[in-house]
Chains A and B, each alone.
Chain A
Amino acid sequence: MGKRIIIDPITRIEGHLKIEVEVENGKVKDAWSSGTMARGFEALLLGKDPRDASYVTSRFCGVCFSVHQMASVRALDAAFGARVPWGGTLLRNLVMGAEYVYDHLVHFYHLSALDYLDIMAIANYTGKDSELNKVKDKVVGLVQRGDTFPLTPRYEPDEFSVKDPDVVISAVKHYLDALKMQIKAKNMGVIFGGRAPHYQSIVVGGFTQLPDINQVTRFRSILDELATFVNEVYIPDVVAFGTGPLLPLAKAGIGGGHPNYISYGSFELNEAGTKLVFNPGAVFGLDGGASREPFDPNNITESVRYSWYKEDTPKHPYEGAQVFDLERSDAYSFVKAPRYKNVPMEVGPLARGFVDQDPTLLGLVKNYGVKPGAVARHAARAIETKKVVGAMYTWCDELLAAMTKPGFKIHDTDHWEPPVEAEGAGFFEPPRGALGHWIRIKDHKIANYQAVVPSTWNASPRDERGVRGQYEESLIGVPVADPENPINVVRVIRSFDPCLACAIHLIDPKTNAIRRFMVE
């Protein structure tokens, strides 16, 4: 048996995602992904007014609030029979589009980039650029004060880390610029959303706040700044890294996993809803025989074979429940194992790119030999940010045109009262990937509620056939030269933009971080 490494990213007093890998001959031989926090927030909804669902579900997750709100109102739209007017759809999309830019920039620059940089190389920068020298002084100053947070490399740099001082310093400059840009993206979403977090204006039937021309103008002017940053900084950075120093990682397909991808589809580009930014679909296999199929929600089941729940056979989310069973002998996760046609699927930017057969993504595959994996995920994320930015211009134009027409509506007020009995499913593609909410209403109240979140797809444990989830599968074969420094494992997991590590917020003034990093 190989060496076991446990990476348990407990940052608060309760942990949420634990990755355990078995390393043999410098490579990962087997892996286990474990959600270590009891979830099942859905139980809080039972018996409540269905309209409370978007309020409660937007507090499910520590980071992705509004996307739950969006999936929830869509499930309610379906159950109530509400028809969201085009104006309401446009406003929802603009708020969610802002969320995309915010989320992807933060993920790339602030949560991921440092995995690939040897920050200390900055000290060797000898160029004359005054902006970059300011960055150098800032970082060197932090080092001298012994306060390198938050720029300290989290693991030791390895052979894939970028060490060229010119490249590193410009990346750190962009890190600082992106901090300002994410603030702009948040401010942009707030223009229509009301406040963030927990936007007030997205409700069943549409949107609550009528827009005025000034708001659209302000939105567009921030959008211009973000578009410039995405096109002139973010995309070039990702391309320069992915086809430059990180090309060996990209070509090796480090972190590939199962070649099965699913997208529920999102972001209407026309009133009829026939044109979308992200198309729904499922892709099985990539090598030559890739088959694409339309998305059918009836194919989704959740297995609990290795999860701490009382349930036996895989169930459709409408039928699912969360009754914990902590005694299950071989269970190792609170995360269920969603499957589509009984196989594990990846969700998120890479999945959307393959489902859409995005030409830029396929170009990287064809021209550079990039394989699905950690680097490809970052590329797919950047590519789709650009697509969403483009779509936001379309939505602004459409909104301006719609606003000036008589009878402009943003809400279906005829369907505000909960039906006696109904069910509905709401699908959305948040930045992290496919999100589904399912609601059953009886006597005007919530009788059952289930959410299958993106990280549940990606972080799932094995299913009843013993097939690994996507995090687990993506780690097989990943090089771990030094068990003390499993940087590639972290690179792979982080490339998914994992979202289980964050649902709690307690401050511990003594340590603020309980860390376990054991080698046994």
Chain B
Amino acid sequence: MGSRKRGKSRENRTEQVLILGVGNLLLGDEGVGVHVAQRMMEMDYPPEVKVLEGGTDGFGLMHVLLKANRVILIDAVKGGGPPGSIYRFEIEDCPPFPDIFKTSVHQISILEVINLSGLIGPTPRTTIIGVEPKCMKMGMELSAEVEAKIPKVIQLVQEEVALSLGRFRREQSVETPSPCRG
């Protein structure tokens, strides 16, 4: 595969890793995903990697989801563990929720949006890195328990990114261009 073809395939958005932090920044630990994304935005990445603050958007994120073939989603997750517990699971581990529309008059969740994007394009492989919240009251600060886990969460996300990039590059099996230029 020559470099021209590789460039073309990038344009076809087949090798983008999206680090997507979601949640409400104004509701304490509910915003943990956004806090992680905002910190990760300050770091350097190869051009295939994109970091985005997804907030609480639903449909509005489809435009970025369909550009990625790998999504690492960071969010508050209520899994029943002690505050600050970190979870990692694939989107397939969550059941599809056919009743969701029946109860929500307006929005749908991020997991539903990812599933829904499968109706019009390839669904990105999605891993969720979740953190058990302690406090979801109004406020822009994280609880001490959750704050203490942020470095570990970032490390986990970076490991996922490295694995994904390794896979892309093996699949491309060509010389990798300098990561400094997009």
Interface residues of A, Cβ cutoff 8 Å to B:
8-14, 17, 38, 40-41, 43-44, 56, 59-63, 65, 102, 106, 110-111, 114, 138, 147-150, 152, 154-155, 176, 179-180, 182-183, 186-187, 190, 195-198, 490, 493-494, 497-513, 515, 517
Contact = CB atoms under 8 A, between A and B. Distances in A.
A493 to B, nearest CB: 6
Contacts of B119: 138, 176, 179
B162 interface: no
Contacts of B109: 11-12, 505, 507, 512
A179 B104 contact: no
Contacts of B89: 509
B53 A197 contact: yes
A9 B63 contact: no
B105 A44 contact: no
Interface in B93-116: 93-112, 115-116
A507 B105 contact: no
Given A63-B106, A503-B24, A509-B89, A515 B62 contact: no
Interface stretch (B70-78, B151-159, B164-172): B70-78
21 contacts: A56-B26, A63-B107, A147-B98, A150-B101, A150-B116, A152-B101, A180-B120, A183-B63, A197-B55, A497-B106, A498-B105, A498-B106, A503-B24, A505-B109, A506-B30, A506-B77, A506-B136, A507-B94, A510-B79, A513-B103, A517-B102
B124 interface: no
B138 interface: yes
B49 to A, nearest CB: 15
B83 interface: no
Contacts of A9: 103-106
Contacts of A61: 56
Given A62-B55, A507-B128, A515 B99 contact: yes
Contact of B112 (A60, A150, A182, A198): A150
B138 A40 contact: yes
A172 B117 CA distance: 15
Contact of B108 (A138, A150, A183): A150
Interface in B13-72: 22-27, 30, 33, 52-63, 66
B78 A197 contact: no
Nearest to A517: B103
Contacts of A147: 96, 98
B51 to A, nearest CB: 10
Nearest to A111: B106
Given A504-B24, A504-B30, A509-B93, A182 B75 contact: no
A501 B101 CA distance: 12
Q: 6 nearest interchain CB pairs?
A: A62-B56, A186-B63, A502-B107, A154-B102, A11-B104, A149-B98
B100 A149 contact: yes
Contact of B53 (A111, A155, A198): A198
Given A508-B78, A515-B103, A106 B59 contact: yes
A63 B58 contact: yes
Contacts of A502: 56, 58, 104, 106-107
Given A507-B75, A513-B99, 18 more contacts: A11-B103, A11-B104, A41-B26, A44-B140, A59-B24, A59-B55, A63-B107, A197-B57, A501-B104, A502-B58, A503-B24, A505-B33, A505-B75, A506-B78, A506-B133, A507-B128, A509-B79, A515-B99
A60 B140 CA distance: 12
Interface of A is mostly: loop
A422 B111 CA distance: 44
Specify which of A44, A179, A509 lies most central, judged by the most chain B CB atoms within 10 Å of its CB: A509
Contacts of A155: 102
Given A9-B105, A11-B109, A187-B63, A507 B24 contact: no
From A8, A114, A154, A494, residue with most partner B Cβ within 10 Å: A154
Interface of B: 22-27, 30, 33, 52-63, 66, 75-79, 87, 89, 93-112, 115-117, 119-120, 128, 130, 133, 136, 138-140
A176 B107 CA distance: 17
Given A40-B138, A44-B138, A196-B63, A499 B94 contact: no
A62 B26 contact: no
A11 B100 contact: yes
A499 B105 CA distance: 8
* Residue of B89, B94, B99, B105 with most chain A CB atoms under a 10 A cut-off: B105
Contacts of A114: 101
Nearest to B102: A154
A183 B120 CA distance: 11
A119 to B, nearest CB: 11
A13 B117 CA distance: 24
Given A60-B26, A62-B57, A509 B77 contact: yes
Given A196-B63, A512-B111, A513-B97, A17 B105 contact: yes
B75 to A, nearest CB: 5
